[in-house]
Amino acid sequence: MKTPRRPKLILNGFWNIKIDYSDSGEVEGFFKGFESSDVVYVPSSYNEQNPLWDGYAGIVWYQRRFYVPRDYSGKRARMIFKGAGYITRVWLNGIFVGEHEGSYTQFKFDVTDVIRYGDWNLLVVKIDNRISIDRIPPGRSINEVVYDFYPYGGIHRDVYLEFTSQEYINDLKIITTHKGYLYAEASISSSKLCEAIFRLRDRELKEIFMAKAPCINGKSSIETTLANVVPWEPEKPYLYTLEVELVVENQVVDAVEEYIGFRSIGIVDGKILINDKPVFLKGFSRHEDYPITGRYVPGSVLVRDFYLMKQIGANSFRTSHYPYSDEHLDLADSFGMLVILESPICLSGMPSNDDARKWCSNPIIIEKALKMVEEMVLQHRNRPSVVMYSILNEPPTDLEECAELARRLVEHIKKLDPTRPITFASHKRANDKALQYVDVISLNFYYGWYSEWGNIEEGLRKALDETGKIHQLFPSKPIIITEFGADAVIGLHSEPPLMWSEEYQAEFLRRYIEEFSRKEYIHGLHIWNFADFRTPQNHWRTMLNRKGIFTRERQPKLSVRIVKDLFSKIPTYRV
């Protein structure tokens, strides 16, 4: 839900920062203000902004002062964080206003009663980025985690103060189909009689529909079917603007909007249908990772990324392994990308089966997991680009306890949003007990790299054989290969192709794409990865995971030309 008409104070910029090695800041009263000459830029992870902070996964304190004009007095005020963590605790003017766990979804706190109007205010934020087995995703130390990406900490995304009237729109839920069906429901906070005005505008902002609906039990909704709408499609991503105004006592007191697309998604006879047409998802798994800024990817870099993906012929990506920023997904809506939106529950390398069983059956963990997927769905369910939810990455779902966690996550999301299929990225092959619960089967393969190393053909035969077995078990479910790839150090060449060379990566991707795209039960291929990204230190990584077909700075490897040629031969719509 976008709120361009609401007054805002943007709090991005330079903040003071203080490292709290002993977690003594709360006892010492840092929340009342602290002395520090160190600065950090928001939005960005703190880790790479100072070499002395690199490698630190612990507690840091942020603070900044800001002025609130007296004109805003009488309005409701909310402090909004688009993404920070892992655990964020917030104080305003020395008063605790709230806490949030998880780095990748938006959260907000009502600060109406603690704002000083016509005066300076002090905002203090405690970030707890310690690595722990009871967190999502889990780990034991900065270089001993169960996932293969760097555990950045800090205020990764925008922070701002937003003002509304005392009566306001709290949320917006939208459902569409490509045939013109539109359902829109506004959640309203108002103690007075009110109504909502719903307006739909086309790309030129011409009003093509308007309806009014009363507020009943905190809701106001409309349902209609419109003629002659332009559907949202990967090759023609037409976006409309839905505006909602809240009217109280004949005055418009609040207004929000959403960019929407008329798009249908379905699973029929083992195929993925967009607007009743079978599609093939070709693209990448990605990461939000960039030098110095860490988990924050600047808008200009995102624009370059999307043009590079489109020029290669990609039409899809997965938000591995967490929900991406609003800016990231706004571009997906605009560029026509088909997005598999993934939760932050990544369990690729649990230390043992006993650890996995305990983790998956821990009631506290389960509650956190359900809350995190709920926040993800509620934040992004109106997007036409989001065509599928991925609940987990590489979970040990050959174990009953973890399969049960997957079942509960599927059940929870279906209640929140029954319009989209659900999947997860599996690496347990035919032994995976949770494949029965999802609509689409997603498989990760690295045969020819982590095993069968140096022998691409042998690895490919194994991957094809295992995929065929899974298709026999679930013939009515589409299969996507959500990860396959090989590391390549840019500038390292070899003939014949040897591991770590650009040639080996190019040949690995060529053979996997050629063979898997021929299988009629395969409905998507996502290369791992779009670009190199930072990982924890270990003996099998050279600072980065180098499976990107672009470097971390977005320079191409040899694979780019190979993938572009192959993707050009795979149409988006399958006959």
Residue 144 bridge partners (DSSP)? 141
Q: Which of 173, 233, 226 is nearest to 202 (CA)?
A: 226
The continuous run of DSSP H or E covering 197 comes out as strand 194-201
CATH class of 8-164: mainly beta
Q: pTM, whole model, 2 decimals?
A: 0.96
Q: Provide the residue-wise pLDDT of the chain in tens; the chain has 575 residues.
A: 999 999 999 999 999 999 999 999 999 999 999 999 999 999 999 999 999 999 999 999 999 999 999 999 999 999 999 999 999 999 999 999 999 999 999 999 999 999 999 999 999 999 999 999 999 999 999 999 999 999 999 999 999 999 999 999 999 999 999 999 999 999 999 999 999 999 999 999 999 999 999 999 999 999 999 999 999 999 999 999 999 999 999 999 999 999 999 999 999 999 999 999 999 999 999 999 999 999 999 999 999 999 999 999 999 999 999 999 999 999 999 999 999 999 999 999 898 999 999 999 999 999 999 999 999 999 999 999 999 999 999 999 999 999 999 999 999 999 999 999 999 999 999 999 999 999 999 999 999 999 999 999 999 999 999 999 999 999 999 999 999 999 999 999 999 999 999 999 999 999 999 999 999 999 999 999 999 999 999 888 889 999 999 999 999 999 999 999 999 999 999 87
Q: Rounded to 5 degrees, what angle do the CA atoms 264, 270, 274 make? A: 20
Every domain of the chain and the residues it spans: 8-164, 178-260, 283-569
Q: What is the DSSP string of 128-184?
A: E----TTSSS-EEETTEESSSS----EE-S-EEEEEE-SSEEEEEEEEE-TTSEEEE
Strands 544-545 and 533-534, how do they pair?
A: antiparallel
Where do runs of H (alpha helix) occur along 209-298?
A: none
Measured N-to-C along each axis, helices 456-473 and 502-516 cross at an angle, to the nearest 10 degrees, of 30
Task: Reply yes or no on whether 258 is catalytic.
Answer: no
Q: Exposed, middle or buried by CB within 10 Å (0-12, 13-18, 19+), for 218?
A: exposed
CB 351 within 8 A of CB 399: no
SS (H, E, C) 252-274: EEEEEEEEECECCEEEECCEEEE
Is 483 noted as a catalytic residue in this protein?
yes
Radius of gyration of the chain (CA): 24
Distance CA 575, CA 571 (A): 9
User: Is the domain defined by 178-260 classed in CATH 1.10.10.60?
Assistant: no
Other Cβ atoms less than 10 A from the Cβ of 528: the count is 26
Q: How far apart are CA 478 and CA 340, in angstroms?
A: 14
What DSSP line would sit under 336-361, residue for residue? T-EEEEE-S-B-TT-S-HHHHHHHHH
Q: Which of 233, 243, 483, 507 is catalytic?
A: 483
DSSP letter string, 543-572: SEE---SB-TT--B-THHHHHHHHHTTS-S
Torsion of CA 235, 279, 383, 365, to 10 degrees: -150
CA distance 573 to 439: 20
Report the alpha-carbon distance of residue 16 to residue 268 in Å, rounded.
Answer: 54
What CA–CA distance (Å, rounded) separates 565 from 554?
A: 19
Which CATH entry fits the domain spanning 283-569: 3.20.20.70, 3.20.20.80, 3.40.640.10, 3.10.180.10?
Answer: 3.20.20.80
Whether 360 and 401 have beta carbons less than 8 Å apart is answered as: yes
Cβ 470 vs Cβ 429: under 8 Å: yes
> Which among 258, 375, 394, 503 is annotated as catalytic?
394
Tokens 């607007």 correspond to: 275
Distance CA 46, CA 299 (A): 18
